[in-house]
Chains A and B, each alone.
Chain A
Amino acid sequence: MLLIPCPYCGFARPEIEFKHAGEAHLMRPEEPASDEAYAAFLFERDNPRGVTAERWRHAHGCGRFFNLLRDTVSDRILVAYKPGEPKPEVTT
C-alpha cells in the first residue's frame, strides 16, 4: 500500500484514504476541436514506464484533488503538488 503525501493536509496517509483519478495535466481541446483531438484528450494516455504525473483525490481526508509524481517501476513517490502548479523537474 502506498503512503501518499497530501499537499493540503501536509502529511502522508495510507492509499485507502485516496481515490486515483488518472493522468494529470490533460487539457480539454479548444472548440471547435477535431475527433482526433477529443480521442487524444479522452482516451490516449502516456502510460510511461518511469515517472508519471497523476491526479489523486484525498477522498477520506480533505476531499481535494492534487497531483503526484511517481515512478511506475519502483512505485516510489517523488513529490506531491497542487493543481495549477507546474510539473516539478525531478531526477531519478
Chain B
Amino acid sequence: MHFSFLSLLRQAFSGHAGWEPYWRQTLTPKPAYDIVIVGAGGHGLATAYYLASEFGCRNIAVVEKGWLGGGNTARNTTVIRSNYLWQESEAIYEHSLKLWEGLSHALNINVMYSPRGVMMLAHNHHDAVVLKRHVHANRLAGIDNEWLSAEEAKAFCPILNIDPSIRYPVIGASLQRRGGVARHDAVAWGYARAASALGVDIIENCAVTGVRRGGDGAVTGVETAKGFIGAKRVGVVAAGHTSVVMEMAGVRMPLESFPLQALVSEPVKPMMPCVAMSNTIHAYMSQSDKGELVIGAGTDVYTSYSQAGGLQVTQHTLEAICELFPVTRRMKMLRNWGGIVDVTPDRSPIIGKTPVPGLFVNCGWGTGGFKATTGSGHVFAATLAKGEPHPIAAPFSLDRFRTGRLIDEAAAAAVAH
C-alpha cells in the first residue's frame, strides 16, 4: 500500500479499517534461498531492500532470532553524521548521509530524518587540534564541517554552558550542519516494508544455531530454530552477536562485544536544537520530537552480552551533561538501557568476504552504526550480489587485520571509547 495524502484521506473516510500490515510475516521459511541474511536490524533489512530493489535478487530471506528491529536498531541514539577522518570512512559515511537525504521518498515512509546539526565540543588544546584536523579533512573531501568559537557554539545551541570557570570549559566546537537524527523504528519498519513488498521473506523468532558447509568448505545454508535453510550466499549482519554466529562457521573475529548505555529524560518543550557531543567528558545529547532528551554514554570497560551496564557509567555521563547544560540539572530520567555493540580494534567496520566461501560479514560498527544503516546496507548488498566487495566496502575487509592497513577512527568514533 502506497502512503500518500490520498490514501490517508481514503482511510479517514472508511474508519481507518483498511490499513495493511507493514510487512508479510513469514512463519515457515522456504527450504532454500539464493541469499540468507542473518539479523533483521536496520543494516540487515537495508541490505535485503537494496538487493531486491537495485541488484535484482528477489529470492532472499532475512532471519532474526528475536523480533524485527529489536536489537541495537531500537536502542541507539539515532545520531547521523559523516565527519570522519580518513578517506575510506568519509566515503562510506558520506555515501550513507546522501542516502539518508532521500530515504523517506525512496521508502515511501517518513523516517523523520532531521538535519539539525551535529556539534562536537572541544574542551582543551588537544580537542581543538583534533577537531580542526577533522574539519579540514572533511572539507578537502567535499563534506561540510566548520569550526565555531565558543560564542558561536552558544549562539547555535543556547542552553550550552560556555562559562570559562567550569571544570572542562568549552573553547570551541566543530559543526556538521547536515548531520542530525532520524526515527530509528521507522527506518527498520520502512526497510522491512519496502523489502517485503519486493518479495523478501522476513522470518522472526528464528535464531541461527549453526552454519552448514559443504565438502569444498563453502556455505550451503544455516541451521535455525525453524530447521535448515539452504543458501548459496549467507550475509551475517548480527552486530554484537557476530562473533557468536561466525564461530559456528569456525571463523574467529577481531571483535569484542561491549554494553553501551543510553537514557532518556522526561519529555519537555523544545530546548535542544541540535546534537551536541563531547568526547572528552563522555556525553552527548539531543532532543527527540516527543520532547525527551536523548543522552548517550560510553561503553562499559568489560565485554558482556547482558544488555545492561554499570550505573557508574551513566552517572559519569549525567555529571557531564549537568555541567554542559545546567538547565537539565533538576530533570528526571525516564528510562535507561543497554545494547551490545561489536567493537573492532581500529573502530572501523568490517564489510566483505570471510575465509569461508559464500559467507559474507557486515559487522564491527561498534558504537556508531545507525548513521551508516543506509550506506552499509547498500554496499553490502552490492558485495553479496556480485560476490566481490563494492569499491566503498573494499578497504573495510577482514583481511586488513592481517595486512595492517587499519583505518583508525578512534577519535571520530567519539564519545564511546
B-binding residues in A (CB < 8 A): 1-2, 15-16, 19-20, 22, 35-36, 38-40, 42-49, 52, 54, 70, 72-75
Contacts and interface: CB of A to CB of B under 8 A. Distances in A.
29 contacts: A1-B310, A1-B311, A1-B312, A2-B302, A2-B310, A15-B310, A15-B312, A19-B301, A20-B301, A22-B256, A35-B403, A38-B402, A39-B254, A39-B401, A42-B401, A43-B254, A44-B254, A48-B244, A49-B243, A49-B244, A49-B305, A54-B302, A70-B302, A72-B257, A72-B304, A72-B306, A73-B304, A73-B306, A75-B306
A52 B247 CA distance: 15
B176 to A, nearest CB: 30
Contacts of A22: 256
Contact of A42 (B243, B257, B301, B345): B345
**Which 7 pairs across A and B sit closest by C-beta, in order of nearness?**
A43-B254, A47-B243, A20-B301, A39-B402, A43-B401, A1-B310, A44-B252
B87 interface: no
A73 B253 CA distance: 19
B303 A47 contact: yes
A38 B247 CA distance: 19
B312 A45 contact: no
Contacts of B255: 45, 47
B220 to A, nearest CB: 24
A36 B306 contact: no
Contacts of B402: 35-36, 38-39
B241 interface: yes
Interface of B: 241, 243-244, 247, 252-257, 301-306, 308, 310-312, 345, 401-404
A31 to B, nearest CB: 17
Given A19-B301, A72-B303, A72-B304, A47 B310 contact: no
Interface of B (DSSP majority class): loop
Nearest to A52: B303
B310 to A, nearest CB: 4
A70 B300 CA distance: 15
A74 B306 contact: yes
Nearest to A68: B302
Contacts of A42: 345, 401
Contacts of B241: 49
A45 B305 contact: no
Q: Which of B241, B302, B306, B345 has the most CB of A within 10 A?
A: B302
Given A48-B244, A49-B244, A73-B306, 19 more contacts: A1-B312, A2-B302, A15-B301, A35-B402, A40-B252, A42-B345, A43-B345, A43-B401, A44-B253, A45-B243, A47-B244, A47-B253, A47-B303, A49-B241, A54-B302, A70-B302, A72-B257, A72-B303, A72-B304
B252 A75 contact: no
Contacts of A16: 312
A53 to B, nearest CB: 11
A35 B301 CA distance: 28
A39 B405 CA distance: 12
Contacts of B302: 2, 20, 54, 70
B304 A45 contact: no
B254 A54 contact: no
B401 A45 contact: no
B366 to A, nearest CB: 13
Which of A36, A44, A47 counts the most B-chain CB atoms under 10 A from its CB? A47
Given A1-B310, A36-B402, A45-B243, A75 B256 contact: no
